[in-house]
Every structure is written in C-alpha cells, then in structure tokens.
C-alpha cells in the first residue's frame, strides 16, 4: 500500500517543477512512511510514498522498465495484486525477465504484454498510474470495487493526480472551491461515482481506466456488475461461497510484514479471522493476531438500542478463544475521543467532513494502536453490501421507498439509532433549499437505478432486491471503503477487504434474494458457508453495526462545542447553521442530534483548516 501523485503537462518542461511535485508527494507521507521517490521527465512527473509490504527491499518506486537504454514504461503504484505470482509465471513463460519479487513489476510487464486490457487479469485492490514515454500517454487505473482511491484534476495541457485530494490541493494551480452541487454531494450521503466534492476535481470511477493524451482525457469502463442466471442449488451455492472465501483469504494472507485481523465479534470479521486462523495454523504460521475496539465501561454498562442489541466485547472474545487468536482489545475513553488533535487528524486524513464523529475517531485510534504491532490487517468490511446484511434490506418500507433505502432508514433511526434527521439536521433551511439537497438525492437515485442490470422474467421482488444490492455495491460501499482506506493509511496501516474480491461479488450478486435469505435471516449464505469455523454464539448473533460510545459525556462535549460555534461571530460555518435547530440540539439531553452536531462542527473545522471557498 502506498501514496501516489503526479503531474502530466504537454506544454511545459516539468524538469523545472520538481519542487512542486515534491510538495505534492509530501502530502502522501502518511500513506507511505517507509520510502519516497520521484521520477521526472520533460512532460511527466511521478511521485511515490511507500508502505513496504511485498518485497521490502526490491519494490521501490516509481518503477520503470528499460530496454536498450531507454525507459519504455514507468509506474507509481498503490495496492496489492493478489494473483501476481500466477501472472509473473505466465509472463516469464512469455519471455519477460524480472529484477524484483514485487507485484508492482508484474503490473508493468503485464501492460507491456497485453496492453490496456491487462487490467482485466488483475485480482486485487489497486490505484496506479502508468506513463508510456514512447507514446507520451498516461493511464490511470482503479480497481473494480474502488477499494483504493485515485483522484485527478484535468488541466489545460494535461492532468494532476493523486491518491487523495490533499495531493492535488498542494499544487499552486488548484484552489479548494466547493459549489452547491459539491455541498449537496457532501451532505447527501449518496457517494456519486466519480464525484470528488471539490470543483474541478474528479475521482477515477471504480472499474475504470482514464487515458490522458495530448488531445485530452478519455474514460473507459473495464468492469461492471452484470446480470447472469444463477443455476446452482442452495447446497452448491453455499459450497461455492466457501471455496471462494478459502481462496481469497489464502491469497490475502501473503505479506512480508506482520499481519493481523480486525475482529468485532460479528459474523463478517469473525468469519475472516477464523478462516485466517485455520489457514495460518495449517501452514504452521499461527496464531493469527486479532484486534477489536471498545469503550471504557461500555461492555459492563451496555444498553441495547434500535441498532445495537448486544455489545461487541463478549462475542469478540468468544471467537478469539474459539480460533485461538492472539487477541487484544483497544479500549478508548471519552477524553481521548474528544482530543482536538485526534479529531483534526481524522479530518486531514479524509480531506472532508463526513459527520461520523467518534465513529471515525475511534477507528483512527484503533488503527494507530494496531500499527504498533502490525502493518497489514484483514477486515470484514463490505460483507453487508455483498450478502444483504443491513437492517433496511429486510425492512419492507425501506425496500419500497422511492429513494436509497439507507436514507429512508436513517430518517427514522439515524446513524446511531438514537438521532434522526440526517447529517444536514443543523444546516440552514435556506442553504438546503439553495443547493436543493432533496432534488440532488433524487437525481442521484434515478441515476443509480438506471445503471442496474436485470434478467428477463425476474419477479418484482427479485428485481427490486437486485436494485437494492446494486446500489449498495456501487454507492454505499464506497463510503465505507473510502473511510477505511483513508483512516488506516493515515497511520500507515494497510487494510485488506476479502469480501470485495470481484469473483465473490459477481457470484453473490447474481444469487437470488430467496437464496441470500434462505433461513429467514440476514446473510444466510455467509453464515452457512462459515458456520463450521465459528462458535454458535457468534454464528447466530444478530447484526450489530460498528460500535458507538454510549457515554453521555461525549454528547455533552459535542453540545458544548456547538454552543461555542454559535457564540463565535467569526466561525466560518456559522452562516451555514440553523441557529434554532442548533439551539434545540444544545438544550437537548442524551444522544439526540449527535451526527448532525458532528457534521456542523466538522464543516466548521474543514472550512478553517482547508481555506475552502464556498461558491454557492
């Protein structure tokens, strides 16, 4: 895993712009603490910050291929190719010679052998740039599910690109301007593919390639979910899911650095941890390390709510004992969660406020502690999107709603299960009307619906559930993948997501909803495929989202900060806030309006730190 950046300019000599490239590259130091490198030619400048995972000594970047004393291809690469060993063998048989043992060099030679279609052969998570000096062309490539981020900014004579917006914002020609559409995207919780919030900036869409030539940019999709008939019966389907998971976990355990798993005690993370433990033990490399997050006193004083019927701790410990993992709880308190330095670190890791507050801060602190002991972590992220785990998949009103089902659900129970009204709850009514937030959400929903592939003869239920699943795999999952990548890379930790393997996603996407829920519960296929490696108490546990602190002092602290925002005439977010709604939040008790307060405070910090210009 790494951080990449670069600049292509066909009308200037970039050998004189090395300092600009280095400034852009420095913003990626969090993603790559182990090494840095730049490659500069007349019209191309590539930067790289490295987190060494595979071939620690030989995988330095930017990496080039030279023939007859000439550079024929150079890359700056972020990610992992899990099938690189098979590809390397195939390429060697075709006459390619390798200098290193890295997967990066495999990507270079794969392009030289198969051209742009080489990307279809890759199994992994990746975002990288390939510069071809012979053709004076750049290729920007992003993995199928969008696990690794990649942003770009078209210029009059080329393009700027980077793993994160901060790399582009470090360029003197880029200003942090956000218009009404950008603000609607930020507040809407719809994650439009390709949208980067900042005006003029774009994100390479998952499963897409952007080609940059002197004449401009073109974009091509190389992968998308397709509707295919599923002919396997239940027993065969469960067996196939397990076969895929066994292969995926085995591939993703490959690393030349310490590795661990994230373990919440839920079905998803427990399945990955148990399968990893079995594989490592079979190879004589156990036990697997596992980590979970908890809040001081929460397990002992837990109160069930609309989202979380049980605390994570006892279930994580049950799985750890069952799988014999080397387990550690990372326990956080409210003072640590509210530490301004930690909250600022989260904001700068994401470059945008997302209103998830301590959900992001606790994840950052968890990753920070894990990084002291491991460099790579396997996560259960995305199983809910793949297998249909969220509560709104099984809520008839949410399924029938003429909008994204998660938005319907959030309006009723909020993000934490106690607050409602959405992230925009404290924003000015005039502002929301001006940016037409509801109209924007509706337009993005119509766009998402239009992209869904269908099979002839599907029942109304199967058709609708295919739409719901597709929207989660192309929209909702992007929010969580971006969150996990950006916060983990802020501390130099690589997080792998086995459930995002495109083979598994394709197979389960085309499994009928009746099979996905054959036992009348959520994630029936995953539970059946992994029950043999799980204790019953974990296998039968009801879905519980990422934990949130129940300490009332946390909400009290938020209310105090909102009170300060309202009292500060120079607070940049004050004109955007509805004072009446904010006043009600300040006077409330418990956890009401928590996420709305988080967003208002986050927007204020973002406007201050990034010097954002709102063009509304």
What is the C-alpha radius of gyration for the chain, rounded to an integer number of angstroms?
Answer: 24
Each residue of 66-84: b (16+ CB within 10 Å) or e? Answer: eeeeeeebbbbbbbbbbeb
**Helices within 372-476 (DSSP H only):** 383-387, 396-400, 405-413, 429-435, 437-450, 460-471
Calculate helix-pair angle for 552-567, 579-587, nearest 10 degrees. Answer: 140
Please report which residue ranges of 42-128 form alpha helices under DSSP H: 84-93, 103-114
Q: Could you confirm whether 2 is annotated as catalytic?
A: yes
Using CA atoms, how far residue 392 sits from 309, 413, 437, 446, 473, in Å, is: 16, 11, 22, 19, 15
CB 466 within 8 A of CB 516: no
**Under a CB-based contact definition with an 8 Å cutoff, are residues 240 and 528 in contact?**
no
Q: What is the DSSP letter of 5?
A: E
Q: At 192, list the tokens.
A: 């439009």
262: which strand partners?
291
- Residue 1: closest CA among 66, 52, 62, 60: 52
- As to burial, measured by CB atoms within 10 angstroms (0-12 exposed, 13-18 middle, 19+ buried), residue 37 is middle
Residue 606 CA to residue 612 CA, distance in Å, equals 7
Active site residues: 2
């Amino acid at each position: 895993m790494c951080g990449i950046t670069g600049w292509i300019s066909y009308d200037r000599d970039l050998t004189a712009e090395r300092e600009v490239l280095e400034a852009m590259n420095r913003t990626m130091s969090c993603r790559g603490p182990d090494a840095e490198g730049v490659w500069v030619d007349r019209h191309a400048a590539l930067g790289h910050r490295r987190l060494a995972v595979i071939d620690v000594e030989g995988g330095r970047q930017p990496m080039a291929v030279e023939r007859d004393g000439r550079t024929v291809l150079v890359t700056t690469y972020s990610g992992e190719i899990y099938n690189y060993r098979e590809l390397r063998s195939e390429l060697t048989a075709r006459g390619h010679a390798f200098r290193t043992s890295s997967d990066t060099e495999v990507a270079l030679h794969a392009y030289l052998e198969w051209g742009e279609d080489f990307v279809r052969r890759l199994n992994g998570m990746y975002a990288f740039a390939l510069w071809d000096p012979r053709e004076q062309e750049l290729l920007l490539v992003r993995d199928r599910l969008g696990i690794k981020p990649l942003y770009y900014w078209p210029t009059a004579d080329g393009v700027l690109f980077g793993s994160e917006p901060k790399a582009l914002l470090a360029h003197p020609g880029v200003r942090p301007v956000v218009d009404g559409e950008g603000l609607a995207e930020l507040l809407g919780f719809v994650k439009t593919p390709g949208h980067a919030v900042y005006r003029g900036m774009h994100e390479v869409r998952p499963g897409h390639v952007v080609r940059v030539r002197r004449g401009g940019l073109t974009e091509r999709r190389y992968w998308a979910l397709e509707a295919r008939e599923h002919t396997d019966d239940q027993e065969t389907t469960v067996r196939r899911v397990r076969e895929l998971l066994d292969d995926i976990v085995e591939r993703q355990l490959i690393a030349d650095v310490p590795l661990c798993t994230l373990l919440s005690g839920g079905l998803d993370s427990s399945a990955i941890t148990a399968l990893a433990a079995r594989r490592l033990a079979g190879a004589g490399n156990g036990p697997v390390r596992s980590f979970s997050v908890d809040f001081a006193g929460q397990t002992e004083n837990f109160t069930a709510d609309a989202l979380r019927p049980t605390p994570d701790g006892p279930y994580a410990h049950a799985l750890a004992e069952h799988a014999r993992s080397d387990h550690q709880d990372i326990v956080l308190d409210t003072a640590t969660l509210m530490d301004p330095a930690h909250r600022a670190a989260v904001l700068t890791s994401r470059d945008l406020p997302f209103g998830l507050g301590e959900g992001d801060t606790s994840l950052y602190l968890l990753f920070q502690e894990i990084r002291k002991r491991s460099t790579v972590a396997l996560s259960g992220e995305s199983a809910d999107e793949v297998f249909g785990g969220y509560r709104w998949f099984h809520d008839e009103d949410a399924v029938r709603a003429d909008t994204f089902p998660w938005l319907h659900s959030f309006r009723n129970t909020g993000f934490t299960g106690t607050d409602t009204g959405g992230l925009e709850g404290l924003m000015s009514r005039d502002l929301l009307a001006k940016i037409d937030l509801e109209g924007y959400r509706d337009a993005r929903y119509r766009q998402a619906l239009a992209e869904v592939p269908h099979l002839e003869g599907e029942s109304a239920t199967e058709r609708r559930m295919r739409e719901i699943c597709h929207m989660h795999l192309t929209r909702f999952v992007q929010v969580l993948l971006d969150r996990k990548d950006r916060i983990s890379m802020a501390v130099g930790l690589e997080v792998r997501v086995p459930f995002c393997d495109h083979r598994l996603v394709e197979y389960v996407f085309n499994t009928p909803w009746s099979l996905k829920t054959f036992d009348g519960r959520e994630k029936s296929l995953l539970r059946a495929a992994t029950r043999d490696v799980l204790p019953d108490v974990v296998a039968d546990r009801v879905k519980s989202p990422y934990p949130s602190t129940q300490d009332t002092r946390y909400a009290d602290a938020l209310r105090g900060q909102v009170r300060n925002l309202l009292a500060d005439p120079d607070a940049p977010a004050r004109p955007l806030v509805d004072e009446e709604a904010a006043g009600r939040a300040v006077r409330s008790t418990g956890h009401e309006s928590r996420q709305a307060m988080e967003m208002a405070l986050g927007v204020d910090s973002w406007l201050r730190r990034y010097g954002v210009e709102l063009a509304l």
